[in-house]
Amino acid sequence: MTAVRSGHPYPTSSVTNNDRSSYLGPRIPPEVEGMTRHLKDLDKDVFRKILKAVVGALEGNDSSESVKVIQETTSVSEEQLSFVISGAYTLLRVAFRQSASTLKQEVFKEDLKELRIPADFIEDFANIVYGNRCPILEDAALRQGNRLPTVEDMRWRVDVAISTR
């Protein structure tokens, strides 16, 4: 006899096994998954420098110089740095797209804990999302967000032909 393998055909988050899904959605973005693998051996001070660069990028500033300084002054590899930056950017961008009333701080922290992000880093993420710069970052996220095309100005004319045939 052959063994029957049961399982879900699509990978899901461990958060979805609860009664609710993660604020990131039913599937964890690959950038965030890659970030969580590279956070384990990252120093807290280096992580805070990276978060500062990511917050600058979320505000619409050019963060290339600060990323270059981080890469030159720390022992973080370019691969690890790119994974952490892209994951943190995605994680924060999705958090700022939701209103503070729908994404509670406890839920946010619980979702990050389910992703196996270290507790110190969870506090840093929560301080950014729920801190005093929150309104500035939410406004920047709304300005940078995807929008559907709209009509701003249109001139039109209707030609009516009356036929008696």
Across 29-33, 84-88, 96-100, 136-140, least confident range: 136-140
Residue 9 lies in a domain: no
138 lies in which domain range? 32-143
The answer to the question of residue 14 being in a domain is no
User: What confidence tier does 12 reach under pLDDT thresholds 50, 70, 90?
Assistant: very low
Q: What is the pLDDT of residues 19-56, one digit of tens each?
A: 677 878 788 888 888 888 888 888 888 889 999 998 88
The average pLDDT across 62-78 equals 86
Contacts of 92 (CB under 8 A, 6+ apart): 54, 55, 58, 125, 128, 129, 137
Instruction: Supply angle C-alpha 135, 91, 129, rounded to 5.
Output: 30
- In this prediction the pTM is 0.70
Task: For residue 27, tell me if it sits in a domain.
Answer: no
- Cα 66 to the chain's mean position, in Å? 20
When pLDDT is averaged across residues 134-154 and rounded to a whole number, the result is 69
Q: Is 116 left (phi over 0), alpha (psi -120 to 50) or beta?
A: left
Q: Is residue 102 in a domain?
A: yes
Could you write out the three-class secondary structure of 100-119? CCCCCHHHHHHHHHHCCCCH
pLDDT: which is higher, 84 or 24: 84
With CA atoms as reference, report the closest residue to 114 among 32, 10, 31.
32
Report the C-alpha gap between 23 and 66 in whole angstroms: 29
Q: Is the pLDDT of residue 17 over 60?
A: no
Where b means 16+ CB within 10 Å and e means fewer, 155-164 reads eeeeeeeeee
Question: What does R_g of the chain's alpha carbons equal in angstroms?
Answer: 22
Q: Number of folded domains in the chain?
A: 1
Domain membership of residue 36 (yes or no) is yes
Residue 76 lies in a domain: yes
144 vs 58, more confident: 58
117 in any annotated domain? yes
Domain contains 108: yes
